[in-house]
Amino acid sequence: MSIKILLRMRPEESMYRKALIDLVKNARGNYVVLSSGYFQSNVVAMVNDLSNTIDYFLSASMKNKIILVGADFISCDGKTDCNHCEFYNFVQALENKYASQVIVYDVPNMTKLKKGRANPWHAKMAFKFDGNSPTATIIGSSNVTSSAVFDWGTNGFCKHECDLYISEHDISLSSSLEDPLSCISVILDDQNPYTEKQLLETAYQEIKEVIDEIK
Ligand SMILES: [Zn+2]
Residue-wise pLDDT tens digits, 143-185: 999 999 999 988 888 899 999 999 999 998 888 877 777 888 8
Domain assignment present for 204: no
Domain assignment present for 162: yes
- CA of 209 from ligand 1 middle (Å) equals 56
Domain assignment present for 200: no
Domain assignment present for 206: no
Residue-wise pLDDT tens digits, 62-75: 999 999 998 777 77
Could you give the number of structural domains in the chain? Answer: 1
Instruction: Quote the domain boundaries for residue 154.
Output: 2-186
How many whole angstroms separate alpha carbon 64 and alpha carbon 96? Answer: 16
214 sits in which H/E element: helix 196-214
How many whole angstroms separate alpha carbon 96 and alpha carbon 84? Answer: 18
- CA of 71 from ligand 1 middle (Å) equals 14
CATH at residue 94: 3.30.870.10
Model confidence pTM above 0.75 = yes
Domain assignment present for 212: no
Domain assignment present for 121: yes
- CA of 203 from ligand 1 middle (Å) equals 50
Domain assignment present for 192: no
Domain assignment present for 199: no
Strands (E), the chain: 2-7, 31-36, 65-71, 102-107, 125-130, 133-140, 162-167, 183-186
